[in-house]
Amino acid sequence: MTFTRAIKIAPSILSADFANFGAECEAIEAQGCDWVHVDVMDGHFVPNITFGPSTCAAIRKHIKGVMDVHLMIAPVDSYIDAFAASGADVITAHLEAGPHIHRTLQAIRATDAKAGLALNPGTGIDAVAHLLDMVDLVCVMTVNPGFGGQKFIQSQVDKVRALRAMIGDRPIHIEIDGGVTVETAPLVAAAGADVLVAGSAVFKGGSVANPAPYGANIRAIRAAAEAAQG
């Protein structure tokens, strides 16, 4: 993974057909996405359950590019090696998932995966200042994690702008997750984000049998974000 601040579109397979993950991953890559975003939920840290490392390992075979694994689980440390072994290129854990986020990031850095740090909407960026040498990506949640299709939380745009200033020249991605659409993508791109996760906005109108709408949706979000990027 070469670092660049170019806009990257990362469809969340939370909005894909769960009985067809392999074909869905192949379809979104063929339609021009950059990363594939994989949401892992435990029914404890967030009020929803998806799947674990064995599913990640199974879909890995159908992803040519970056597999971006977003862990919404607590505890998280004891599962990091299993997600790394599943073939994750990026492993993102939540700041709120436990009392020892520095240790969690150390554990991710001990694998071959890049280390991501996710912040819930109610969490400020102060703690990130002490973790900048430990992260490759900061994920700003623009919805409360747990479900796709929620409304973008506008107050997070200022947070992205402040985070971008804090990061400066460091090679750290800013990822946005939740409620990203053609309308909201420009707001976060202008504020400094480079990785845009989008679930419902990418998968709407399409299917494995008819994947062309995925491509149109990806291109529309990318164009809106690139036009706004500073």
Active site residues: 39, 177
Q: Which stretch, 8-16, 83-91, 156-164, 215-223, contacts ligand DX5 (CB under 6 A)?
A: 8-16
> Which position among 146, 190, 208, 215 is part of the footprint of ligand DX5 (CB under 6 A)?
146
**Residue 29 binds to Zn ion (criterion: CB under 5 A):** no
**How many angstroms from the chain centroid is the CA of residue 121?**
14
Backbone angles phi, psi at 70, to 5 degrees: -105, 110
CB of 142 to ligand DX5, least distance (A): 8
Our CB check for ligand DX5 shows the closer of 9 and 107 to be 9
Angle at alpha carbon of residue 184, lines to 196 and 21, rounded to 5°: 40
**Residue 39 binds to ligand DX5 (criterion: CB under 6 A):** yes
> Which position among 145, 186, 206, 211 is part of the footprint of ligand DX5 (CB under 6 A)?
145
**Residue 173 binds to Zn ion (criterion: CB under 5 A):** no
**Residue 192 binds to ligand DX5 (criterion: CB under 6 A):** no
Our CB check for ligand DX5 shows the closer of 146 and 215 to be 146
Rounded to an integer, what distance in angstroms lies between the CA atom of residue 18 and that of residue 189? 30
DSSP state of 103: H
**Residue 43 binds to ligand DX5 (criterion: CB under 6 A):** no
In this structure, how many other beta carbons lie within 10 angstroms of the beta carbon of residue 122? Answer: 10
In this structure, how many other beta carbons lie within 10 angstroms of the beta carbon of residue 136? Answer: 21
Task: Tell me the site size for Zn ion, rule CB under 5 A.
Answer: 3
In the bound complex, which residue of the shown chain has the CB atom lying closest to Zn ion? 70
Q: Where are the alpha helices (DSSP H) in the chain?
A: 21-30, 53-60, 80-85, 101-109, 156-167, 185-191, 200-203, 212-228
Burial class (CB in 10 A: 0-12, 13-18, 19+), 151: exposed
Instruction: Please choose which of Zn ion, ligand DX5, none residue 198 contacts, taking the beta carbon within 5 to 8 angstroms, the exact cut-off set by kind.
Output: ligand DX5
Going by C-alpha positions, the residue among 168, 171, 164, 166 that lies closest to residue 191 is 164
* Site for Zn ion, rule CB under 5 A: 39, 70, 177
* Site for ligand DX5, rule CB under 6 A: 12, 14-15, 37, 39, 70, 143, 145-146, 148-150, 177-180, 197-201
